[in-house]
């Protein structure tokens, strides 16, 4: 019993670390934007740091699992493009215009987007409770966007649309990976898809930016090192280990710490304003997600 209790505690701590560290990515990106750097360069640096670690995961999975079918390889490549390249690029671009708090709230709409895509693509039924929950979620985002529009102007809408498109892209990844993950395994799918995204992000920089753009402040490189390890690879491993110990349902509930930690860190480290409308919007989004994901 003591062994089980320690395992559960370890799983809870791993899930909490994964949620907080992954959400901390927005804080790191906003800190990096204090220096002269753009989204393409910052994303390339993040993936350059993460690439060797994802390759190590891929090599481990390659030895552990049987070879992939050719069709599965193409599906993984598409999923890597949607879930880890396009979603990341749109997110980084959106963070140039909006607060880290608003970014996290919009991304947290992901479960509602998965529901909507399931209904549109596969005619999956949406219950009345889920419809109500989605309405609560989007009402919360409207409140938060309205607050930021008063402070940041029209650029807030541009950033919000970019981050919403990022959430939609990742929802497509989740929809597409649902069956494939059972066939190829979660570790292998994550490692391969992430490696594809790393190649795309680094290639995008090499094709669109001169190497002289890498003459950046040392702080940008330090933040990219933290982003690529603590906020990218380590959360992936932590959440996988947490799911193995405590199950996906409890790990998902602990993931609610993500938006809350982003709000706290954005106020403490970035000095972002936190008004009553943002607080109300955050509460609505979190409550809506709980209702959407509750079985």
Summarize pLDDT for 71-91 with one digit per residue, the tens: 888 999 999 999 999 999 999
Which residues 6+ apart lie within 8 Å of 290 measured at CB? Answer: 133, 253, 256
In Å, the largest CA–CA distance within the chain is 59
Share of the chain above pLDDT 90, in %: 41
- CA atoms 247, 249, 251, 254: torsion sign: negative
CA distances from 113 to 30, 117, 118, 291 (A): 25, 6, 8, 14
Structure tokens at 226: 């933290």
Average pLDDT, the chain: 87
| CA gyration radius, the chain | 19
User: Structurally, how many domains does the chain consist of?
Assistant: 1
pLDDT at 7: 53
Task: Give the mean model confidence (pLDDT) for residues 10-24.
Answer: 88
pTM equals: 0.89
- Averaged pLDDT, 233-249: 82
- The residues, any chain, with a CB within 8 Å of residue 197's CB and separated by 6 or more, are 47, 80, 81, 83, 84, 85, 88
The pLDDT of 119-128, averaged and rounded, is 85
pLDDT band at 2 (very low <50, low <70, confident <90, very high): very low
Rounded CA separation 124/172 (Å): 15
Backbone angles phi, psi at 67, to 5 degrees: -60, 150
Range of the domain at 260: 2-293
Kindly indicate the confidence band of residue 28, based on its pLDDT and cuts at 50, 70 and 90: very high
Higher pLDDT residue, 212 or 186?
212
pLDDT at 295: 57
Average of per-residue pLDDT across 196-213: 96
Q: How many CB atoms lie within 10 A of CB 194?
A: 25
- In tens, the pLDDT along 172-181 reads 998 888 778 8
Structure tokens given for 16: 């909490």
């Amino acid at each position: 019993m003591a062994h089980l209790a320690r395992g559960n505690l370890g799983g809870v701590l791993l899930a909490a670390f994964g949620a907080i560290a992954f959400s901390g990515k927005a804080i790191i990106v906003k800190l990096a934007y204090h220096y002269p750097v753009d989204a393409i360069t910052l994303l390339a640096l993040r993936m350059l740091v993460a690439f060797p670690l994802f390759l190590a995961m891929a090599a481990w999975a390659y030895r552990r699992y049987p070879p992939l079918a050719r069709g599965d390889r193409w599906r993984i490549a598409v999923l890597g493009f949607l879930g880890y390249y396009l979603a990341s690029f749109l997110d980084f671009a959106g963070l140039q215009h909006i607060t880290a708090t608003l970014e996290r709230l919009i991304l947290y709409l992901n479960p509602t987007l998965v529901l909507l895509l399931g209904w549109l693509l596969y005619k999956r039924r949406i219950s009345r409770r889920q419809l109500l929950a989605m309405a609560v979620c989007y009402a919360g985002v409207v409140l938060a966007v309205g607050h930021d529009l008063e402070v940041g102007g029209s650029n807030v809408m541009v950033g919000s649309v970019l981050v919403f498109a990022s959430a939609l892209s990742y929802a497509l990844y989740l929809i597409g990976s649902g069956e494939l993950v059972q066939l190829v395994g979660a570790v292998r799918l994550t490692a391969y898809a992430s490696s594809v995204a790393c190649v795309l992000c680094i290639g995008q920089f090499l094709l669109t930016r001169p190497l002289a753009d890498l003459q950046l402040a040392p702080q940008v490189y330090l933040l990219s090192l933290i982003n690529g390890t603590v906020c990218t690879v380590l959360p992936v491993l932590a959440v996988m280990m947490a799911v193995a110990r405590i199950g996906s349902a409890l790990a998902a509930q602990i993931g609610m710490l993500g938006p809350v930690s982003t709000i706290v860190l954005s106020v403490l480290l970035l000095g972002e304003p936190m008004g009553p409308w943002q607080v109300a919007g955050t509460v609505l989004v979190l409550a809506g997600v709980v209702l959407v994901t509750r079985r």
